Structure 1
Amino acid sequence: MFAKKKDTAAPLALTPLDQGRAAAPQAQPAAPAPARPKPASMFSQGLTVRGDIVGDVEVHLDCVVLGDIKVGKLIVGPNARVEGSVIAQAIEIHGLVIGAVTAQAVRLYGTARVDGDITHEQLAMETGAEFQGRSLKFRRPAPAQPQPQPAQPQAHVQPAPQPAPTAPPSASQTPYSQVAH
């Protein structure tokens, strides 16, 4: 039904301009292009998300989210409502969050309302922001300190002397059941 045809076209001839380029050695390989920043993922007003949002990206919410969020950077817009825990490197809140918030840097704008604990390294609040919960500062682990070495070696401690073994009980000390009659 279908037959495969061989490509019988002649190779393209190089023009004099192309021949000069083909003969010239390449100076250097092209440097890799700088990494482009990832664009923010945007969820607009009128959308309801039921479930978790997870990723290492920037997310801008202006919708309702019923679930937990764990992203790189989060912007909760003025029309957004989040019901669940939120974890990110940096969080900007303009809208409503009902749940625990955890980030290195948290900023509550004048229209923000948070009902839950905020765990942070830096917390900034504008006038008018409402916050019901606890502000918990990240606790960085203290650097391990080496154990001090004793200045002098400890003296050799001899074990306490053991009491001498006692002789087996005599017939007068033998229990009644073992005495022959």
Structure 2
Amino acid sequence: MALTTSRNGVLFIACREALVLTAYPDGPHPSIGFGHNSAALKIGDKIEVADAFRLLRDDLAKWEDGVNRALKAPVSQHKFDALVSLHHQSGNRYMPAVAALCNAKEFDVAAALFPLCDRNLAGEQKDGLRKRRILESAVFSAGDYGALDPIPYWPGDPSTTARQQYHLQPGDI
């Protein structure tokens, strides 16, 4: 049976991606919400928080599919959530190796691999990625999602507006 990301998994990813309700320049296409990229977006487009979570769920569906296809052995919900977070943020660079370890039931080795998956597309080691990988490893190993509220929030382009905190409201997710 295919797994989907749990509520805690969605919130874990949301806290690592951060909430931006106004589309801003981010690579080849604008981003909005929790890192949703689309050529259909225009800089300055706005959405509501519930829309940001809907877009995140839609985006996660494709990453969940990739994780489910890669896994041949069952994993716990928290392991799946960590794998989706890794796959969502890094694409397919690390998923084959981590999934192979999970399929071999080498979960301790897989957990130890997470912090080493800290390079961007250019192959540069990034401290922010290492920090995220360490947090994902804690989710993977022990189901420790850490604090899931508040969520980092920027009211506009993160490069020009100050970071704030968004506290979850009923109906957001």
Q: Same fold (TM over 0.5)?
A: no
- Give the greater-gyration-radius structure (CA): 1
Bigger relative CO (Cα 8 Å, ≥ 6 apart): 2
Higher normalized strand content (fraction of residues): 1
